[in-house]
Amino acid sequence: MKMFDLLSKYDIPVVEFAIAKSPEEAQRMADSIGYPIAMKIASSQPIHKTELGGVRLNIPPDAVQQTFTDLLRSAVSAGIEFEGVLVQQMAKPGIEMIVGIKQDPAFGPVILLGAGGIYAEMLHDVSIRVCPIKRDDAYEMVSELKSAAIFKARGKHYDVDSLVEMLMKVNSIALSKELKELDLNPVVVHSLEQGGGCEVVDVRIVE
Amino acid sequence: MGYNLKELFEPKSIAVIGASKDPTKIGHVILKNLVEGGFSGQVYPVNPSADVILYQHAFASVLDIPSEVDLAIIVTPQPVVLKVLEECGKKRIKNAVIITSGFAEVGNTEVEEQIKEIAKRYGIGVIGPNCMGFINTYTRVDSVFNPVYKLGRPKAGEIAFISQSGAVGAAVMDLAAKMGVGISLFVSYGNAAVINETDLLQYLSDDPRTSVIAVYLEGVRDGRKFLDVARKVTKKKPVILIKAGKTQAGSKAAASHTASLAGDYAVYSSAFKQAGILEVESLTDLFDYSKIFLQPFPNGNRTGIITNGGGIGVLTSDFVIRNGLQMAELDIETKKTLRDSMPMHVNIGNPLDLAGDADAARFKVAIDAMMQDKNVDIIILTPLMQTISLDSSIIDLIIRESQKMIKPIAVVTIGGTYTEQNRTLLENGGVPTYTSPYVATGALSKLAWYAKRYQKD
């Protein structure tokens, strides 16, 4: 799908996934990725998947085909053009962030970092910059979040460097002006104790 | 841009186009303010149906004026604005202020485009339309159409104020006059058809009379240009800004979380931060924060508090911490000096409570000690004027200490009429005064931030 192609073009790490067009294909893909698995409605349209019941987590092998059918049904009843089901590895635990861009009417491309996940809008803990940003700006964005302290909490050190790396890549997407809006949400940041790195779990684009 | 804003703001001759005999008309008030307000250059009333206005010979058109004109102030009815602007072009007037409204702000963009076209063709620098124009407190050019008895004019000073809104701008000038804040230049730029906020920022950054730039902004058209220019300007001079229209946008449901979280105002606020602009929340804060920047820049944020009332000292120290400043740890030598010269019932520490029987002499010892203490970067004085022993001699003392310009000094006074009178005397003496420790420490905190960011001395 286009949005995942875009991420790979900019070398942005994504949790391993595949797009299934049928229950049988979903089963094969899930078997090869490994369990437990996450399944979601795949759509190029900007939709709030969770609200539509379009996200199922921790699915065991014997429930894959039934989940495919359920997701197809929710997509149809919500009137979404069905493009398949995203079969994805469950993300390793970490801190959920949102990284996004938008084209602002007055300032042009803008980049955002915030506390992410399904509560992103309610938490409203964000840092915004007009692009382009430099590496120092990206670090400053991380440190000015209200929740910045959780990157070094409970004896763990989360991989801020890899998050900054991702911000710099997203900065390049913003400047290319290919998109009107982009949400990478959640981006899961892993602790250095667990090998570090950060990965995109889900993407939404507005062209 | 190519316009010469220095000539615009310092004209030697002015034509008031649309000048009127009728004292209730804007065209009368502006002419009166120029003629009676101390402007020393030539003033030419222009009106097709009057011979003499306010003892000045009136002309039917600018084209009839025999000598050169530097600035046209246009207050005619809307339908003739294009015609008179064209005449200004023919007369080779290089600058104009169009007070008249009824253009892009009411959807009449076509006529506004024509203003731009004429301005471009003749190379006229235009402020407005739909604005109050400007007040230059040094040359006494004043195009604000509010009568002086209703709207006070501020004294000359070092703070420039540019305002997108004419009404807010004028009211704030009135407030500045009352607060005793000195202004270098006030510009209400209205629709910004030709000269916009970015041009004005650029000009003020080179204006030798301006040390601090205060801005009231609703929105900018070219955000990027504004950001680029503001970034450079803030390295030279502090820019203090209030943004109006924070809540109207973002009301429509956004497709992405990012668009919803990064609403129009959130982006503005981030851009201000990136440019080093200091954003404030209220119109009074605009000047309360601006005036602190006329103080010497501190080397750090360690704050010493001197008071004659324990409670107000403690309260102020709470706000010092809350606003991100530090309480200074007095040097051992300072403590010794203070101990030797203070009565036993004075506790030597920070806040330094000189006790209820403190007089001006005791304050002087304390201020001198903190001025010399290398551990103190900032001094806050909170004299309670209500005590028996404190009289107005403290005012002269504080003004003298402040004028040494060694460390920033802010004064917090809390009280009624007597206190207010004394506060006004301090303010007129160039001492930044506050009626709230919260605002004083907030302003000082920004000063320390700016001084650190730009490492000025």
pLDDT, position A2: 77
Tokens, residue B53: 């206005």
Candidate from B220, B255, B268 with C-beta closest to A181: B255
Q: Is B447 in contact with B293 (CB distance < 8 Å)? A: yes
pLDDT, position B147: 84
Candidate from B223, B258, B271 with C-beta closest to A102: B258
Phi-psi region of B195 (alpha: psi -120 to 50; beta: other; left: phi over 0): beta
ipTM: 0.88
Residue A161's nearest CA partner among A133, A135, A132 is A135
Let me know if the fold of A2-89 is the same as that of A95-206.
no
CB proximity list for B225: less than 8 A, separation 6 or greater: B198
Cis preceding linkage at B208, omega within 30: no
pLDDT, position A126: 96
User: What's the whole-model pTM score?
Assistant: 0.92
Tokens, residue B349: 């520490």
pLDDT tens digits along A39-49: 999 887 767 77
Q: Chain A: nearest CA to B267, how far in angstroms? A: 7
Write out the H or E segment, with its range, that includes residue B173: helix B166-179
Q: How far apart are CA A166 and CA A163, in angstroms?
A: 5
Q: Tell me the mean pLDDT in the region A135-146.
A: 96
pLDDT, position B252: 56
Please, which residues bridge with residue B213 across strands? B160, B239
All structural domains of chain A with their residue ranges: 2-89, 95-206
CB contacts of B261 in chain A (<8 Å) are 98, 100, 112, 114, 120-121, 124, 126, 128
At the topology level, CATH places domain A2-89 in Dna Ligase; domain 1 (3.30.1490)
Contact A100 B260 (CB under 8 A): no
**HEC string for B21-88:** CCCCCHHHHHHHHHHHCCCCCEEEEECCCCCEECCEECECCHHHCCCCCCEEEECCCHHHHHHHHHHH
Considering the four listed CATH numbers 3.30.470.20, 3.40.190.10, 3.40.1190.20, 3.50.50.60, the one that applies to the domain covering A95-206 is 3.30.470.20
Average pLDDT value over all residues in chain A: 92
Candidate from B222, B261, B274 with C-beta closest to A124: B261
pLDDT of chain B, 457 residues: tens digit per residue:
478 999 999 999 999 999 999 999 999 999 999 999 889 999 999 999 978 999 999 999 999 999 999 999 999 999 999 999 999 999 999 999 999 999 999 999 999 999 999 999 999 999 999 999 999 999 999 999 888 888 889 999 999 999 999 999 999 999 899 888 899 999 999 999 999 999 999 999 999 999 999 999 999 989 999 999 999 999 999 999 999 987 755 445 667 888 888 888 999 999 999 999 999 999 989 999 999 999 999 999 999 999 999 899 999 999 999 999 999 999 999 999 999 999 999 999 999 999 999 999 999 999 999 999 999 999 999 999 999 989 889 999 999 999 999 999 999 999 999 999 999 999 999 999 999 999 999 999 999 999 998 864 4
What chain B holds in terms of domains, given with CATH numbers, is 5-292 (3.40.50.261), 296-454 (3.40.50.261)
Contact B267 A104 (CB under 8 A): yes
Contact A128 B221 (CB under 8 A): no
